[in-house]
Chains A and B, each alone.
Chain A
């Protein structure tokens, strides 16, 4: 029985899931008695929880087979760690299997998460990439319905994930954005976003605004009955045209949003002025040593004998087609552009334009190769300092722009295109999710200056309330939270590490070796069906991703129990 006007938001994740499903139909999979606690938290002196904050409940919704996946925001901010991420991914894998076998199962996902759990950083990033890949497949069969009831909201890599859903339902209290206000304040300064100004924050990223601007679909009041009805309506509507595929429409919107055309932050002209001053502070050319340069150097080296000119329509996204052996490949890189119209992406960050531009270029290759038996390989050259941290970016939905690129890479793989990720520089957070983490094969330079992580050290320290020394100490025992490429390599996603004499100035020989490895990667990727599954099969996976593998096996067993 549904009580009218009883709050939905106030319920725990488990209660939310149970409440949504038809009375008596709910069965929790890998619940607390499975004792799946995070050993990574324990090692860092943090008390774990027996469901790792991720609830998976199978049952019926209005008579239809449904699985509810719900994050517990009160436990570690609903962050995605190895176990919680694996539970999510494993449940989606079962949803996909059932749908592919002709048994429709509807996923309803209740988001209450800060994104990657910073204490398990790179595990979270890998899991989110896997979750995103599965969502792109599932939504061809059934609509994926997402719900942001509020308390934590939906942030970080999970805001990108959310943008891949077919429908997003929010309450007024729900918040949806990539970088939270505290992180923007830390990275870009308090003039960019005063995180203590809660009213301003809700006006920008709250449910009411997100639905009004079309970045979410349904605004519901916080009652169990209203939430139930909203989910029902979405389920009945069926599969929509997904936002993350509407490239031209959103590119036009983003162009209009550029500073100058943009909404003024608080309707105070002084703010617009300060934004302009800031962009003039950094003169073009002073970026010489900044991030993005290494990416450009390798892009140029790999595409020296390209068969096309630069296909990118903005200065920060480079794209050329090359012939490798007898294969056509499309090489893509995001790099610094001092002349960009979005100042916050000047150093090579992935922002509003970059995500959509990557999506355009990838989808173009997929369309052009539609009738060809041989699909162009996509080579993602990765040297990305981060996603862009800025007010405009969050206002206009940088999470959707990043999701568009994720979606394009995943769809390309599903259509038969190998995606080879070549990490030559930093690979950070949302930027890496958007450009690199959908790769079906990964090559990285063996270089101690490369950083792979979910958040900069300063921000991560602020969010987890630890000192940088404490974080470095913890990194000694948990490889997933270290920032170096060797630790990332432990986690099994990288296939090949390459060391050259000078990574900033690759010689002809270096480039030849790199091209050979890429060609090898293309063959391996195709042998694996261009999926992300390889990550759990590499030599390092059994040791460092043992729990990801175990949770998948247990979920598959629990799924089939009656």
Chain B
């Protein structure tokens, strides 16, 4: 298990918090909450060690495309980058949903 943190610049806010996924085999849990710092922050706990570079690539790309000021908490149980990206987009969709 490894705990990683990342920060990226952000431009816009989200309307609410969102939660998707489950900490099960090949899957992950994403909690997306408005960030206090105005930056995009990610706190990753992953069962697979040694993948900091890959996490950085996936998250950097995501926040370049969607510069939202959110605090992400990710609990990962061996998800592939594709699954991670899918969950991030799902979380964002829910967080930007207007009631």
Q: Spell out A's residues near B (CB within 8 Å).
A: 12, 31-33, 35, 37, 42, 45-50, 72, 74-76
Contacts and interface: CB of A to CB of B under 8 A. Distances in A.
Given A12-B22, A33-B19, A47 B31 contact: no
Given A33-B19, A47-B1, A47-B77, A74 B31 contact: no
B45 interface: yes
Closest 4 CB pairs of A and B: A74-B24, A45-B1, A49-B23, A32-B19
Question: Which residue among B23, B25, B77 has the maximum number of chain A CB atoms within 10 Å of its CB?
Answer: B23
B73 A50 contact: yes
Interface string B19-37: 1001111010101010000
A411 to B, nearest CB: 37
Contacts of B24: 74-75
A46 B1 contact: yes
B29 A50 contact: yes
B34 to A, nearest CB: 12
B73 A75 contact: no
Contacts of B75: 37, 47-50
A74 B80 CA distance: 17
A49 B22 contact: yes
Contacts of A46: 1, 47
Given A48-B75, A74-B25, 5 more contacts: A12-B22, A47-B77, A50-B29, A50-B31, A50-B73
Contacts of A72: 22
Interface in B27-61: 27, 29, 31, 33, 45-47
Chain A binding surface SS class: loop
Contacts of B90: none
A37 B75 CA distance: 10
A75 B76 CA distance: 11
B7 interface: no
30 contacts: A31-B19, A32-B29, A32-B31, A33-B17, A33-B19, A33-B31, A33-B33, A35-B73, A42-B1, A42-B45, A45-B1, A47-B1, A47-B23, A47-B46, A47-B47, A48-B75, A49-B22, A49-B23, A49-B29, A49-B75, A50-B19, A50-B31, A50-B75, A74-B23, A74-B24, A74-B25, A74-B27, A75-B23, A75-B24, A76-B23
Nearest to B29: A49
Nearest to A52: B23
Contacts of B22: 12, 49, 72, 74-75
Question: Which residue among B19, B47, B76 has the maximum number of chain A CB atoms within 10 Å of its CB?
Answer: B19
Nearest to A45: B1
Nearest to A33: B17
Interface residues of B, number: 18
Contacts of B23: 47-49, 74-76
Interface in B51-99: 73, 75-77
A35 B73 CA distance: 10
A45 B75 CA distance: 12
A47 B19 contact: no
B89 to A, nearest CB: 18
B84 to A, nearest CB: 14
Question: Which residue among A35, A49, A76 has the maximum number of chain B CB atoms within 10 Å of its CB?
Answer: A49
Given A32-B31, A72-B22, A75-B24, A47 B45 contact: yes
Nearest to A74: B24
Nearest to B48: A47
Contacts of B1: 42, 45-47
Nearest to B76: A47
A74 B46 CA distance: 16
A12 B27 CA distance: 13
Contacts of A48: 23, 45, 75
B60 to A, nearest CB: 22
A72 to B, nearest CB: 6
Contacts of A32: 19, 29, 31
B45 to A, nearest CB: 5
A72 B75 CA distance: 15
A49 B19 CA distance: 11
A49 B25 CA distance: 13
A76 B47 CA distance: 13
Contacts of B77: 47
Nearest to B25: A74
B17 to A, nearest CB: 6
B69 to A, nearest CB: 18
Contacts of A37: 75
Question: Which residue among B27, B73, B76 has the maximum number of chain A CB atoms within 10 Å of its CB?
Answer: B73
A32 B33 CA distance: 11
A289 to B, nearest CB: 42
Contacts of B29: 32, 49-50
A42 B22 CA distance: 16
Contacts of B46: 47
Nearest to B45: A47
A35 B1 CA distance: 19
